[in-house]
Structure 1
Amino acid sequence: MSMTSHIPARRLPETSAMLQLIKPITWFPPMWAYLCGVVSSGAALSGSWGLVLLGVLLAGPIVCGMSQAANDWCDRHVDAINEPDRPIPSGRIPGRWGLWIALAMSGLSLLVGWQLGPWGFAATVFGVLAAWAYSAEPVRLKRSGWWGPGLVGLCYEGLPWFTGAAVLSAGAPSPQIVLVALLYALGAHGIMTLNDFKALEGDTRTGVNSLPVTLGPARAARVACWGMALPQVVVIGLLVLWDRPLHALAITALLCAQIAAMRVLLRDPEGRAPWYNGTGVLFYITGMMIAAFALRYLA
């Protein structure tokens, strides 16, 4: 009999494990996108800093953190293969605590979203439902390599951008803002596809049809690169059309830097996917903020 069999099971979760469960490293993209929405709205920030701060907290630690908790609970069997040291499969968050945390944060998300007015609340409801639709049975859109990353990209980039612009404008954002936010959300599909490389073994064994599983690493990486690049080309064209040539030129330079990084990625997709997510994505999100300032001048 092993020595570990004498160690009693935990009854309460570890504090550090609860923080790990909601993955602070994932909060930045939606927080950044919300700020892009704030900037693009053209609204004066004086007197609105409370809405800005509350929206950033909602987009990152609360809604994104909730989605990570829900995903970890629904993925606990997959994580037992891919990452057995994760909080739930390792037992540091025992029993159904992972589920209770995700449900409690869902309620908190709706409560905070209510403070942002009808547009902010509606966006929060959509985000909470999308998080559970992505991870939970019987919907579990995560099983699809097309719908799953598309939904995450929409909720990480497009929805927070839309929300930030709507909350600061106290109304529906302009068609230009909606279009650019949607394009960057479409491009984020490629980022999410690259993120799926780390779960390739577990996804294969548990029937999650991510693009790295269904297409193979090499083809999936090429699809991801095209998926990230083409929406930015459209954004550049729109900014030229809207008489913002300097902003278009800056995003073009950032896209060229991404293409150089993509060439490195494609030499070893499995090994280089984490590297690209730490380097090439930085150029992508920088372009988002430049586009936001271009839209602000249009407003």
Structure 2
Amino acid sequence: MTDISNAQPRRLPEPAAMVTLIKPITWFPPMWAYLCGTVSSGVSPFSSIGLVLLGMFLAGPVVCGMSQAANDWCDRHVDAINEPYRPIPSGRIPGRWGLYIALAMSALSLLIGWQLGPWGFGATVLGVAAAWAYSAEPVRLKKSGWWGPGLVGLSYETLPWFTGAAVLAAGAPSIYVVVIALLYGIGAHGIMTLNDFKALEGDRKMGVNSLPVTLGPEKAAWVASIVMAVPQVVVIALLWLWDRPFHAAGVAAVLLAQFWAMSVMMKDPKGKAPWYNGVGVVLYVSGMMISAFAIRTLGAGA
């Protein structure tokens, strides 16, 4: 193994580390939610494909990427314990470059959001503010196992869904869109709680009171599962009441599959949480798109 103890510290970020910093794997949920919003708007996404693609780019690589950079900068001391090979604690992004990248991407987010009109820009301002409120002192809502995941869930699912619908419709979304988007954002609180399992030890040492820290892995997994499931049950009931029985059945089917995945996770919550985030989340977002198609004509008629 090469001895790097005497290696000179970097002055500029490593290009590959800059890509790692903004975590492309995390871009999918907000991009998908934005796409769900465009579908649910009642306007054909193909009629304004430029706005659809620009909005998805903004929601994923830009705003979500910025939030990841901001979080890694604010979490650099925790990551030095949990994951010392991450870009900032490893020195591949040296000095204050992590902060500079997050600030530059915040400005880029606002610039692109401006191109989406008043609804898109307003939502972008909220998204950027939420990202910094989650990670940065003195607010740092990440310290709370309730407020932190809740804010991220709403930012990852509800806000981009609402934005996609508002941008494409060039106006306020229907109440159907708002309610369904809000329910899926609330349910995403559970997904974010499961994501906290990987940082359990470092969070405990650094005073981050995530639910896995305060409740323990087993109880936190139960809470996460309930929080994910209940909003979907409400979605199923609403789709049935809104005369969308086949869509309601589709969401019910993916929820049943999630129950199976939850039963597997409960056998080893800490070990299986990452597995669930790969399997259960795919099922969760599938239900989102089914719901988006269900309400698109309801929204158009509102």
Taking structure 1 as the reference length, what is the TM-score of the superposition? 0.98
Match of 2:124, SS state, is helix
Q: Per-residue CA shift, 1:151-206, capped at 9, x if unaligned? A: 00000000000000000000000011000000000000000000000000000000
**What is the match of residue 122 of structure 2?**
122
**What is the match of residue 173 of structure 1?**
173
Does 2:257 align with 1:257?
yes
Match of 1:267, SS state, is coil
**What is the match of residue 65 of structure 1?**
65
**What is the match of residue 188 of structure 1?**
188
Match runs of 1:212-231 below 5 Å: 212-231=212-231
**What is the match of residue 105 of structure 2?**
105
Q: Per-residue CA shift, 1:206-264, capped at 9, x if unaligned? A: 00000000000000000000000000000000000000000000110110000011011
**What is the match of residue 38 of structure 1?**
38
**What is the match of residue 82 of structure 2?**
82
Shift in Å, 1:6? 2.3
Q: Per-residue CA shift, 1:47-79, capped at 9, x if unaligned? A: 411100100000000000000000000000000
**What is the match of residue 14 of structure 2?**
14
Match of 1:4, SS state, is coil
**What is the match of residue 283 of structure 1?**
283
Q: How many residues align?
A: 298
Shift in Å, 1:7? 1.0
Distance 1:100 1:113 in 2: 20
Q: Which residue identity is paired with 2:54? A: L
Match runs of 1:129-278 below 5 Å: 129-278=129-278
Q: What percentage of aligned pairs have identical amino acids?
A: 75
**What is the match of residue 49 of structure 2?**
49
Q: Which residue identity is paired with 1:134? A: Y
Residues 3 and 266 (structure 1 numbering): CA distance in 2 closer, same or farther, change over 3 Å? closer
Shift in Å, 1:91? 0.1
Shift in Å, 1:287? 0.2
Distance 1:282 1:48 in 2: 27
Q: Per-residue CA shift, 1:239-297, capped at 9, x if unaligned? A: 00000000000110110000011011111000000000000111100000000000113
Distance 2:177 2:270 in 1: 35
Q: CA RMSD in A?
A: 0.9
Match of 2:67, SS state, is helix
Q: Per-residue CA shift, 1:91-113, capped at 9, x if unaligned? A: 00000000000000000000000
Shift in Å, 1:46? 4.0
Q: Which residue identity is paired with 1:166? A: A
Distance 1:20 1:96 in 2: 16
Structure 1 stretch 42-51 or stretch 227-236: which is displaced more?
42-51
Q: Which residue identity is paired with 2:48? A: S
Q: What 5-or-longer segments of structure 1 have no aligned partner?
A: none
Distance 1:250 1:18 in 2: 40
Residues 179 and 81 (structure 1 numbering): CA distance in 2 closer, same or farther, change over 3 Å? same
Q: What 5-or-longer segments of structure 2 have no aligned partner?
A: none
Shift in Å, 1:3? 4.9
Distance 1:227 1:209 in 2: 18
Distance 1:134 1:232 in 2: 25
